[in-house]
């Protein structure tokens, strides 16, 4: 699980692998589902309320 400060935005290389693994089931996912998944696996920059994003 990544350990990041809330103000730290992950770079492309860091965030893309978990995102691709999430999308690997070949199902259609919404952006909200992807953000929720990234928050659930420990990317705190994606946590918070909808207004925080």
The reported pLDDT for the residue numbered 43 is: 80
Cα(47)–Cα(26) distance, rounded to whole angstroms?
A: 25
Confirm whether 5 is domain-assigned: no
Has residue 34 been placed in a domain? Answer: yes
**Is there a domain that residue 18 lies in?**
yes
Number of separate domains in the chain: 1
pLDDT digits (tens, 9 = 90+) for 1-53: 555 445 577 788 888 999 999 999 999 999 999 988 988 888 876 665 555 54
Residue 45 is assigned to a structural domain of this protein: yes
Tell whether 21 is covered by a domain. Answer: yes
Decide: pTM greater than 0.85. Answer: no
Range of the domain at 18: 12-52
Q: Determine the pLDDT at residue 39.
A: 85
């Amino acid at each position: 699980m990544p350990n990041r400060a809330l103000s730290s935005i992950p770079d492309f290389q860091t965030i893309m692998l978990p995102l691709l693994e999430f999308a690997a089931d070949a199902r259609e996912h919404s952006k909200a589902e992807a953000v929720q998944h990234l928050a659930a696996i420990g990317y705190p920059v994606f946590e918070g309320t909808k207004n925080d994003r």
